[in-house]
Amino acid sequence: MKSLKLFIINALTLIIGLGLMAGSFSNRDAQAARFETIPSLQVNKLGNMNGQYLTVLYAVGSRPFISTDSSQISISQVKESRTLYISEDAMTLPAVQVEKEGFRPSYNIIVFVVSPQPNYSWVNADGSVPQGMSMTTNHMSTLINAINKADVDNFVTASGDAGVLQINLVR
């Protein structure tokens, strides 16, 4: 009798467990949002760079642990890129939607590059070109600066998606 009870309990546990795993008791599937919205950015202090081009890279990358030099950033993937002709002291970039891959963040760094030519392409210190970046012969930069995703997230938490994040390119 004792073994029959044990058999029934094990059988019911197995049936319920398999039912839960198959999703028969649940109508919801966990899905990540496909796109992440980055708010509009206003890049300030560009006056001395009139006539050049501002390229903004929404990317997955990393900074070296010790160095604070923005030119040492290593980018593995460029998710979105925008280029503007600098004609004013402040330039505004519209909000951007960046596609997510699974549950990973869509980007973790935004890099600002000022270049004398319009077709700038990033090359890492080891000579590699990030995935999603078109290779051109223009690697010249007048200025490189970057902000982290945490800076953008803090702004969105305080101001919402409709706000305009102010970036001072030159400190």
| pLDDT tens track, the chain, 171 positions | 667 676 777 766 767 766 655 554 444 455 556 888 899 999 999 988 999 999 999 999 987 776 555 558 899 999 999 999 999 999 999 999 998 877 777 899 999 999 999 999 999 988 899 999 988 888 899 999 999 999 999 999 998 878 899 999 887
Longest dimension (CA), the chain: 89
Q: In the chain, how many H helices and how many E strands? A: 2, 9
Count Cβ neighbours within 10 Å for each residue of 31-64 and write b for 16 or more, e otherwise.
eeeeebebbebebeebeebeebbbbbbbbbbeee
* Domain spans in the chain, listed from the N-terminal domain onward: 1-30, 35-168
The span from the CA of 73 to the CA of 121, in Å, is: 14
Predicted TM-score of the model (pTM): 0.76
